[in-house]
Structure 1
Amino acid sequence: MSSFIRGTVILTFAVFMTKLLGFVYRIQFMRVAGEEAVGVYMTAYPAFIFFLSLVQLGIPIAIAKVIAELTAKGQSARFAQVMRSSVLLTIITGLIFLPLSILFVPFLSDTLLGNPAASVTLFVGIAIVPIAAVGGIIRGYFQGIARLEETAWSQVIEQIVRIGLITWMLPYFLTDGSIALNAAYAMGITLLAEAVSVLYLWIKFKKQQKKTASLQSKDGLYPVNPLLAVALPSSGSRLFGSFTWFLEPIIFIRALAVSGLTAAAATSLYGVISGVLIPLLLFPQFIPYALSVVLVPAVSGASAAGNIKKLQERIHLSLRLSALTGAFAAAVFFVHGKEMAETLFHVKQGASYMVVLAPIFFFYYIQSPLFSILQATDEAKAAMMNSVYGGIAKLLVMFVLASQPGLQETGAIVAIGFGVLITSFLHIATLRRNRKTATGFTMFVLPYASFIITAVLRPIFIPTGGYGLIADCSITALFLAVVLFFTGQIRGEDFRHFRKLAVRQR
C-alpha cells in the first residue's frame, strides 16, 4: 500500500503546483489579454482538445495499462515493443486526422462558432497536436512503470513557461483592436510551453531507456489488439467527452443568440464561465486527478495479480479522498466562491453562478477516479457510455434552457451541472455492480451531508465577511473538518498512513 500512497502523494503535490501555477496563468491571462480575447481562446481550446483526442485515440492510457500488466507478469522486456506499436498507431492516426482538422477549421470558425476571429487560434492549436501526442505516449510509459515524478515535473515546467511567457512576452505582441491575433498569440504560448514540457519528458525517457537497454527486445512490435482493446473504449469515452466540450461553445453561443444575445457578448460570457468559474471550481481537483492517474496501473496490477484485498483498499482510499476533496471544495466555493471570482479575476459578470455550481461539482471530484477504476476493472465500455449519456444530456438541456430569454446563461450553467450529475451517478451505479470492488452510493452520502451542514451552519455560528477572504475560507474549511471528524470521515488511521510514509522517505 505504501508505494501506491507514495506515488499518489508525489503526484498530488506536483499536480497541486501545476494547478496553482495554472491558476496564476489564468489570472494573468484575463488581466493582460482581456475578456474578449480570453473568450475567443476558450471557444477555440475545446476544438484543439478534440483534435488531439482524435490523434491520440486513447493510446496513452492503453500504454499505461499494458505496461503495468507486463510488469506484474515479469515481462518488462516487452516495453520497447509496446512503445514501437504505440508510436506507429499514433503516426497513422495523425496522418489521417490532422489534414481533416485543417480543412475543417474555416467551417468551424465562420459557420459553427460564427466568429472568424477564432480561425487563426484554431490553426495554431492544430500545430500543438503532434507535440502533445508525443508527450502523451511518453507520459503513458512513465505511468505504466509507476514513475510519476517525470509526468508531474513536466506539467510544472509547462505551467512555469506559460506564466513567464504570458507575463513578459505576450504584452509586447498584443495589438489594440485585434482580438483574433491576441487570442492566437495566447495559443502560441501554449504551443511553446507544451514543446518545452515534451522536451523534458523526451530527455527523461531516453535516460530511462539507456538504463534498461540490455533488457529490452530489440525488434518486433507488440500485438495491436491488446492495445486497441483498451485504447478504443477509452478513446471513445474521451473522444465523446472532448466532442461534447467541442460542441459546448457552439451550442452555448447559438442558444444565447436565439434568446437575443449577440455572438460577441456570448463569446465573452463563455470565456468568463469556462475560463474563470469552471477552472476556479476545479482548482482543488489535483487530488482526484493524481488518484485517477495512479489508479489505472495500480488497480490493473492488483487485478492482474489476483489480489482482491489490495484492489479494494486502493479503490476505497481513492474514492474516500476524492469525496473529502469534493466536500471541502463545495463548502468553500458555495460560501466564498462569488467573492473569490470577483477578487482574483476582476470579473464583472457571472461570479454569482458559483453558488449554483459548487454543490454540483462535488460529484465532479469523484468522476475521474471512478472513470479510471472502471477502466482498470475492464469496464471501459460502460464508462464510455456513461460519459456519452452525460454529454448528450448536457447539450440537450443547454440548448433548451439557454435559448429561453428568461434564462439565457443561467440555463447553460444548469445544463453543465446536469451533465456532471448524470455521468457521475452512472459511474457509481456501474461500479456498484462489480462485487469485488465493494463500492456503492453510501460512501459519498456522509461527505456530502457534511458539506450541507457546513454551508448552512457556518454563516450562522460564524458570520462571513469580517475576517478577509483567506481567513474566511480557512474558517469554513476548519468548520467542515470538525464536522467530517465527528461523522467519521476523517480518521486517525489516515494520519498514521502518511506519518509512516514520511518516515520511510527520510
Structure 2
Amino acid sequence: MSTFLRGTMVLMGAVFLSKLFGFVFRIQFVRIAGEEAVGIYSAAYPAFIFFLSLIQLGLPIAVAKITAELYAGKKHAEIQSLMRKVWKLTWLSIFIFGPLLFFTIPYIATSLLENANISTTLYIGLFTIPIAAFGGILKGYFQGLAKVEETAWSQLIEQFFRIALITWLLPYVVNQSSPGATAAAAMSLALLAELASFLYLWYKYKRVKQTTEKVVTYPTTPILEVALPSAGSRLFGSFTWFLEPIVFIKALAVAGVTAVAATNLYGMISAVYIPLLLFPAFIPYALSIVLVPAVSDARARSNRAMLQERVSLAMRVSAITGCFAATIFYLHGEHIVRVLFHVTEGKGYMQLLAPVFFFYYIQSPLHAILQAMHEAKAAMMNSIYGGLGKLFVMFVLASQAGIEEKGAILAIGFGVCLTSFLHMATLRQKKEAGIGFTFFAIPYLLFIIVTILRPVIWPLAEMPWVADSFVTGLMIFAGLIVFGQIRLTDIRLLRKLIKKT
C-alpha cells in the first residue's frame, strides 16, 4: 500500500504542477490571443482530441494494463513483444485514418463549425497527432511499470514549453486582423511542446527497456480485447466533445445568435470557466492513472483486501477534492475569473457548473477502476449514455431564446452527473470492489451546508479572492474532520510518506 500511495503522491505533485502550468498557459493565451482567436482554437481542439482518440484506438490503456500484469509475473520478454506489436498497430492506424481525416477537415470547419478559419488550425493539429499517439504509448508503458515519475516529468516538460512558447513567441505572430492565423500559430506551438515531451519519453524508454534473448510474439487479440472497449469509451467521449461546439453553435443559431458570436461564447466557456473548474482535477486524474495498474496488480494477486483498500482510498480522496472545489468555485468562482482572466461576462456560470462538477472529480477514478476490473465495455456504454444525454439536452435548452448558453451549461452538467452515477451503479455490482453510493454523500452534504452558512458567517468578496477562498477552505476542512472524512491516521500516513520520499 505504501508503494501505491507514494507513487500516487509523486504523480499528484507532478500533475498539480502540470495543471498549474496549463492554467498559466490558458491565462496567457486568453490575454495575448484575443477573444476571437481563443474561440477558434477552442472550437478546433475537441476535433483534435477526437482525431487523436481515433488513431490511438485505446492502445495506451491496453499497454498500461497488460504491462502491469506481465511485470507482476516477471515476463520481460512478453513486455518487449507487446511493445513491438503496439508500435506496428499505431503505425497502421495512422496510415489508415490519417488521410481520411485530412480530407474531412474542410467539411468540418466550413459546414459543421461554420467557420472556414478553423481549417488551418485543424490541419496543424492533425500533424501533431502521430507525435501525441506515440507519446501516449510510452506513457502507458511507464504506467504499467509503476514508473510514474517519467509520465509526470513528460507532462511538466510539455506544459513548460507551451507556456514559454506562448509567452515569448506568440506575441510576435498575433494578427488581430486574422484570428484564424493566431489560432493556427498557437496550435503550431502546441506541436513543438508535444515533440519535446515525446523526446524525453523516448530517451527514458531507451534507458529503461530491458532486452532479453528470449524471442516471443505477443498475440494481437488480447491487446485489442482491452484496447477496443477502452477506445470505444474514449472515442465516444471525444466524439461527443467534438460535437459539443457544433451543437452549441447550431442551437444558438436557432435562438438567433450568429455563428461568430456563438464561437466566441463557446471559447469563453471552454477556455476560461471549464479549465478553472478542471484545475483541482489533478488529484483524481493522478489517482486514475495509478489505479489501472494498481487494481490490475491486486486482482492478479487475488488480494481482495488490497483491492478494496486502494479503491476506497481513491474514491474518498476524490470526493473530498470535489467538496473543496465545488464549494470554493460556487462561492468565489466569478471573482476568481474576473481577477485572473479579466473576463466580466458570464455572470452566474459558476453557480450553475460548480454543484454538478463535484461529480466530475469522482468520474475518472471510477472509470479507471472499471477498466482495471474488465468492465471497459460497461464504462464505454455509460460514457455513451452520458454523452448522448448531454448533446440532446444541450440542443433542446440552448435553442430556446432567453436560455441560450446557460442551457448549454446545464446540459454539460447533466452529462457529467449521468455518466458518474452510471459508473457508480456499475461498480456497485462488482462485490469485490466493496463500494456503494455512500462515499460521496457526506462530502456533498458538507458542500451544501458551507455554501449556505459561509455568506452568513462572513460576507463574501470583502477580502482578496485568495484570503476569501482560504476562509471557506478552513470551514470545509473543519467540517470534514467533524464528519470523519479526514482522519488522524491519514495525517500520520502522509507524514510517514513524506519522510520516505
Give the TM interval when normalised to the shorter protein.
over 0.9
Aligned twin of 1:284: 280
The separation in 2 between residues aligned to 1:78 and 1:220, in whole angstroms, is 6
Q: Which residue of 1 aligns with 2:64?
A: 64
Rounded Cα–Cα distance in structure 2 between residues aligned with 1:127 and 1:242: 18
For residues 255-298 of structure 1, the C-alpha deviation after alignment (integer angstroms, 9 at most, x for no partner) is: 00110000000000000000010000010000000000000000
Instruction: Please state if 1:423 is matched with 2:419.
Output: yes
CA positional deviation for 1:502: 1.8
The 8 Å contact of residues 128 and 191 in structure 2, kept in 1 or not, is answered as: yes
User: Partners in 2 of 1:83 and 1:208 — Cα distance?
Assistant: 13
Contact 2:320 2:443 survives alignment (8 Å): yes
After superposition, where does 1:66-465 map in structure 2 within 5 Å?
Answer: 66-209=66-209, 212-213=210-211, 215=212, 217=214, 219-465=215-461
Measure, in 2, the Cα distance between the counterparts of 1:69 and 1:6: 20
How many angstroms apart in 2 are the aligned matches of 1:184 and 1:221?
Answer: 42
Counterparts of 2:347 and 2:105, CA distance in 1: 32
Which amino acid counterpart does residue 423 of structure 2 have in structure 1?
Answer: H
The structural deviation recorded for 1:76 is: 2.4
Say whether residues 1:502 and 2:498 are aligned partners. yes
How much is the aligned-residue C-alpha RMSD, in angstroms? 0.9
1:448-476 per-residue CA deviation (whole Å, 9 max, x = no partner) reads 00111111111111212122110001110
- After TM superposition, give the deviation of residue 348 of structure 1 in Å: 2.9
Deviation, structure 1 residue 497: 1.3
1:5-44 matched pairs, under 5 angstroms: 5-44=5-44
1:267, 1:353 → 2: CA distance? 17
In structure 1, stretches of 5+ residues that fail to align are none
Shift of 1:504: 2.2
Equivalent-residue separation in structure 1 for 2:296 and 2:240 (angstroms): 28
Counterpart residue identity of residue 169, structure 1: L
Secondary structure of the residue aligned to 1:146 is: coil
Shift of 1:499: 1.6
Q: Distance in 1 between matches of 2:347 and 2:246?
A: 22
> CA shift at 1:503, angstroms?
2.4
1:441 is displaced (CA, Å) by: 0.6
Offset at 1:352? Answer: 2.3
Partner AA of 1:404 in structure 2: Q
Structure 1 residue runs of 4+, over 6 Å off? none
**Corresponding residue SS for 2:302:** coil
Contact 1:252 1:402 in 2 (8 A): yes
Contact 2:254 2:399 in 1 (8 A): yes
Q: SS in structure 1 opposite 2:134?
A: helix
Alpha-carbon offset, residue 220 of structure 1: 4.2
Q: CA deviation at 1:77?
A: 2.5
Residues 104 and 476 (structure 1), Cα distance of their counterparts in 2 relative to 1, 3 Å cut: same
CA distance in 1, matches of 2:85, 2:301: 25
Query: Shift of the alpha carbon at 1:226?
Result: 1.0
Match of 1:474 in 2: 470
The answer (yes or no) to whether the contact 1:80–1:216 under 8 Å persists in 2 is no
Aligned amino acid, residue 428 of structure 2: R
In the alignment of these two chains, the number of paired residues is 501
Q: Deviations over 1:412-456 (max 9, x none)?
A: 000000000000000000000111111011111001001111111
Alignment identity in percent? 58
Measured after TM superposition, the shift of residue 74 of structure 1 is: 2.4
Normalised by the length of structure 2, the TM-score is: 0.99
